[in-house]
Structure 1
Amino acid sequence: MQMTGNTIFITGGASGIGRGLAEAFHARGNTVIIGGRRKALLEDVVAENPGMDMIELDVADLASIETAAGELVTRHPSLNVLVNNAGIMPFDNAAGRIDDVVAQKIIDTNLLGPIRLSSALVGHLKMRPHATIIYNTSVLAYLPLAVTAVYSATKAALHSYALSQRFMLRDTTVSVQEIAPPWVNTDLIKKSDDPRAMALEDFIAQTMQGLETSDEEVVVEAIKAIRANPGPHEHALVNAFNADIIAHPIPV
C-alpha cells in the first residue's frame, strides 16, 4: 500500500497493536483517526500525538458503526484507508458449555464488526484514487488455539472474508491486505512480558515494512513457517501446538 499521504481510520486504536500502527502511520505524516469505545484512552493517545483525531465507536454495535462511518466521511472526506483492528479474546472451553452471550460478543466484535464497517465505507473508498482495507486477523486463523476456540474461529472466518472481498474488489481502486500477528506483548490477553510474546515495537516495525509492499498478507518472520499451509499434516500440527500450550499455560 501507499505509506504516505493517506487518511487512515484505525479501530481499536487506543492501545496495543492499534495504537502502535496509529503512531507509526502518524509519524510518516499521514492523517490518522483512531476509533474505540474507551473515550478517555482515545483522548490520551490523541493528546500525545498532536494532529491525530478520534471517533468513539463500538464495532460490536451496528448503529454505532453507521454513525461513526457517517461522521468519518463528513469530517474526513479524503479517507482512503480502513484498518479493522479492534478485537477481543476471552478464553473458553470447547469441551464444555460455551457462554452464548460471550460468544456472540466475540463474533460481533471480531467478525461482524469488520464486515459491517467495511460495508459501510467501501462505497466511499471506491471513489478514492487509491484505497486500502486492512484486516487484523491472527496466526490463530491458521493454527487455532484450543482454549480460545471461538476467537480462533472468528479470525479464520475473517481471513476467509478478506479473500472473498479482495477478489470482488479486484477491478476497483481498493486493495485488501491482511495482517496476521503472532502472540504480541499487548493487553489483548494480558501484558505479561512472557518471552514467547513478540515485542510490540518489533511487530510494528516488521508489519510496516510488509505493508509497504503489495503483498496480500503481511506476516512477520516468526510465523512464516506456520502460515506455510501444513496441508494433510494440519491435525498433528494443531494437536502439538495446543499440547505445548497446556504444558506451558498462557498467563491470564
Structure 2
Amino acid sequence: MKTVGNTILFTGGGSGIGRELAQRFHDLGNAVIVAGRRREALEETIAGRERMSALTLDVDDPEAIMAFARRVVTEYPELNVLINNAGIMRSEDLTRRRDLADAEETIVTNLLAPIRLINALIDHLAVQPDAAIINVSSGLAFVPLSATPTYSATKAAIHSYTVSLRTQLKGKVDVIELAPPGVQTELTPGQSARDGYMPLDQFADEVMTLFQQQPTPGEILVERVKLLRWAERDGRFDQVVGMLSAR
C-alpha cells in the first residue's frame, strides 16, 4: 500500500483511533474523508485541515450505506482506500437470560457494517490504482475478553473475513488488517485514562511506521498486541485468556 497521494475513506473518524489515524494519514499528504454518526465530532477531526472532509453515516442502516457509497464515489471519484474502523464494545453477562440488544447491535456495527460497505464500494475500488481495504480488528480477535464476548467474536470474524477478502482480491486490491491492543480511547467509559492500556499517540506512532514499510505487512501489529496475536501458536492461549479475565 502506498501511504501518500491517496483518497482515503475512514469510518469511525470522529474519535479515538479513527480520528488519530485519519489525521496522521492526512499529515502524510492524503485526501481524507471521515465518516461517522456525529457531525460535531467529525467537524472537530477535520478542523483547519484542507483536503479533509466529513460525511455523516449510520453504519447500522444497510440502505444508508448504499446511498452513502453512491454519494462518495460521485463526490470523490479518486477514492482508492477504505478503512473500516467504526466499532462498539459492550460488556455482557452470559450467566442468565438477558436482553440481546447489545449483542445484536455489536454484530451489526462491527461485522455487518464493514461487510456491507466493502460490498457497496468494491466495484469502484477494484478498478482504482493503488487500491486498498484496511479492516480494523483487535487483539481480542485472537484471545477473547470474556466480559465482552460478542465484541471479541465480531473481531475474530473480521479477522477471518479479511483473510478471505485478501485471497480473493489478490492482485487487484491490497487488503490489510490492523489489530490494535487495548488503547487509551473512549471505546468504553473511562478507558482513555485507564492504566495498562497503550497511550493513543504511542499506538499511532508505531502504526504509521508499520504502514510505511515496503511491502506493507498484511497484518499491522504493534509490539504490545503480539502477546494476543501469537498466544495460541506459542502455547499460551489458556494462560492469556485467564490473564485478560482477571484484569
Structure 2 length as normaliser, TM-score?
0.94
CA distance in 1, matches of 2:192, 2:29: 32
- Tell me how far 1:211 sits from its aligned partner: 1.6
Counterpart position of 2:219: 217
Distance 2:126 2:50 in 1: 29
* Aligned equivalent of 2:40: 40
Alpha-carbon distance between aligned partners in 2 of 1:239 and 1:7, rounded to the nearest angstrom: 39
Q: Counterpart in 1 of 2:28?
A: 28
- Contact (CA 8 Å) 2:5, 2:30: kept in 1 or not? yes
Q: Which moved further from structure 2: 92-101 or 32-41? A: 92-101
Letter paired with 2:97: R
| Worse-matched range after superposition: 57-66 or 137-146 | 57-66
C-alpha contact 1:140 1:152 (8 A) present in aligned 2: yes
Partner of 1:89: 89
Comparing 92-101 with 195-204, greater Cα deviation is found at 92-101
Inter-partner Cα distance in structure 1 for 2:240 and 2:224: 17
TM-aligned CA distance change 1:63 to 1:199, over 3 Å = same
1:100 aligns with 2:100: yes
Shift of 1:224: 1.5
From the superposition, tell whether residues 232 and 180 of structure 1 become closer, same or farther in structure 2 (CA, over 3 Å). closer
Bigger shift: 37-46 or 141-150?
A: 37-46
Structure 2 counterpart SS, 1:96: coil
Deviations 1:89-126 (A, max 9, x none): 01111223343222111001000011100111111011
Corresponding residue number in structure 2 for 1:237:
239
Moved more, 225-234 or 178-187: 225-234
Alpha-carbon distance change, 56 to 243 in structure 1, aligned in 2, over 3 angstroms? closer
CA distance in 1, matches of 2:66, 2:236: 39
**1:194 Cα deviation (Å)?**
1.7
CA distance in structure 2 between the aligned counterparts of 1:183 and 1:235, rounded to whole angstroms: 17
Question: Does the 8 Å contact 1:36/1:42 carry over to 2?
Answer: yes
Q: Where does residue 145 of structure 1 map in the other structure? A: 145
Write out per-residue CA displacement over residues 140-168 of structure 1, whole angstroms, 9 at most, x where no aligned residue.
00010000000000000010000000000
Q: Are the equivalent residues in 2 in contact too, given 1:94–1:146 (CA < 8 A)?
A: no
Find the counterpart in structure 2 of residue 248 from structure 1: none
Q: Which moved more, 1:126-135 or 1:37-46?
A: 37-46
Supply the distance in 2 between the matched residues of 1:232 and 1:204 (Cα, whole angstroms): 27
**For 2:68 and 2:127, how far apart are their aligned partners in 1?**
19
Match of 2:181 in 1: 182
Unaligned runs of 5+ in 2: none
**Correspondence 1:126-165 to 2 at 5 A:** 126-165=126-165
Taking a change above 3 Å as real, the CA distance of residues 96 and 232 of structure 1, as seen in their structure-2 partners, is farther
CA RMSD of superposed structures (Å)? 1.5
Aligned length: 244
Contact 1:33 1:54 in 2 (8 A): yes
Distance 1:235 1:46, change over 3 A: closer
207-216 or 26-35: which moved more? Answer: 207-216
1:167 paired to 2:167: yes
Q: Report deviation, 1:3.
A: 0.5
Instruction: Tell me if the contact between 1:103 and 1:150 (Cα under 8 Å) persists in the aligned partners.
Output: yes
